[in-house]
């Protein structure tokens, strides 16, 4: 099984991260740059979807991707990013995976309300704007989050659970064609997921340094899972984007 982890396009929070006066949005939407990144990503993946040399190891996807499933978090920036690729590729299952959301979840950022959990977008928002997305049956008009802020202690166990569920659902099985999965998700969750795969301590580096794995908006990272090993083939590939649209 191959997993392609794609970070969402530039959000309004990303674009204003250096502003001292900007008030963060609880569920930030894509900027115009973010939408353009998502379009270019979708065009690239559509043109590279067919695998032209099935006998090759294809470690850098020089012979195509051959995606079989697309999953997205239910945060608006991720869903919109994923929708461009899902529409471009056509008849591939496009499904919400709630637990690949960004750290913290949906919560208030205003003074006095900060870290209070918020509802998140309701079912009607997704049905109206992304009708091709398969939603959880539990999602109602009350919103998809509707819980407290996700504490630090909850974050790594969530990533560990996602990895276990991914392998159970899509790991290589006898007589089954290899599945190639897309996650459209978030930078913080990527580091948690990578920590789950490699059993790394969170943000702990050598000599007292704190580690981080940089992902640019709409970058692609690839994991290969086989019977007895997990291989990271590449991280943070942005070759499909022009230099002026490489944002972090």
According to the model, what pLDDT value does residue 120 have? 97
Mean pLDDT for 144-164 is 97
Q: What is the DSSP letter of 60?
A: T
Q: For residue 111, what pLDDT band results from cuts at 50, 70 and 90?
A: confident
What b-and-e string marks burial along 185-215, b requiring 16 or more CB atoms within 10 Å of the CB? bbbbbbbbbbbbbeebeeeeeeeeeeeeeeb
Per-residue model confidence (pLDDT) at position 241? 98
Position 20 scores a pLDDT of: 87
DSSP 8-state code for residue 82: H
Residue (of 217, 103, 235) closest to 159 by Cα position: 103
Q: Is the pLDDT of residue 149 over 90?
A: yes
Q: Point out the least confidently predicted range of 88-92, 123-127, 175-179.
A: 175-179
Asked if 102 and 75 touch (Cβ cutoff 8 Å), the reply is: yes
Q: Tell me if residue 64 falls in helix, strand or coil.
A: coil
Q: Which residues of 65-92 are buried (b: 16+ CB within 10 A; e: fewer)?
A: bbbbbbbbbbbbbbbbbbbbbbebbeeb
User: How far is it, in rounded angstroms, from Cα 234 to Cα 222?
Assistant: 5
Per the structure block, which two tokens stand in for 70?
């697309």
Task: Give the pLDDT confidence of 3-29 residue by residue, as tens digits.
Answer: 999 999 999 999 999 898 899 999 999
d(CA 42, CA 106): 27
Residue 184, phi then psi, degrees to nearest 5: -105, 110
Q: In total, how many domains does the chain have? A: 1
Are the C-beta atoms of 189 and 103 separated by less than 8 Å? Answer: yes
Is a pLDDT exceeding 90 seen at residue 50?
A: yes
C-alpha span between 236 and 192 (Å, rounded): 15
Find the domain containing 98 and state its range: 2-245
Q: Would you state the structure tokens that stand for residue 47, as one six-digit string?
A: 């043109």
Structure tokens at 160: 């560990």
CATH code: domain of residue 235:
3.40.50.1240
* Average confidence score pLDDT of the chain: 96
């Amino acid at each position: 099984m191959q997993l392609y982890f794609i970070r969402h396009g530039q959000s309004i929070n990303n674009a204003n991260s250096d502003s001292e006066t900007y008030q963060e949005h609880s569920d930030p939407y894509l900027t115009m740059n973010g939408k353009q990144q998502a379009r270019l990503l979708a065009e690239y993946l559509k043109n590279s979807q067919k695998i032209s040399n099935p006998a090759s190891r294809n470690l850098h996807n020089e012979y195509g991707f051959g995606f079989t499933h697309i999953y997205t978090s239910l945060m608006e920036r991720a869903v919109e990013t994923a929708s461009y690729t899902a529409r471009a590729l056509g008849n591939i299952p496009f499904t919400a995976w709630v637990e690949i959301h960004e750290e913290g979840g949906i919560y208030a950022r205003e003074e006095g309300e900060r870290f209070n959990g918020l509802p998140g977008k309701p079912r009607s928002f997704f049905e109206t704007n992304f009708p091709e997305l398969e939603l959880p049956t539990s999602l109602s008009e009350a919103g998809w989050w509707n819980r407290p802020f996700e504490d630090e202690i909850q974050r790594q166990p969530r990533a560990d659970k996602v990895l276990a569920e991914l392998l159970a659902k899509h790991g290589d099985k006898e007589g089954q064609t290899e599945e190639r999965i897309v996650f459209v998700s978030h930078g913080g969750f990527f580091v948690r997921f990578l920590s789950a795969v490699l059993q790394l301590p969170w943000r702990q580096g050598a000599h007292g340094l704190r580690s981080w794995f940089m992902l640019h908006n709409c970058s692609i990272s690839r994991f290969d899972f086989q019977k007895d090993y997990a291989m990271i083939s590449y991280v943070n590939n942005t070759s499909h984007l022009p230099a002026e649209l490489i944002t972090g």
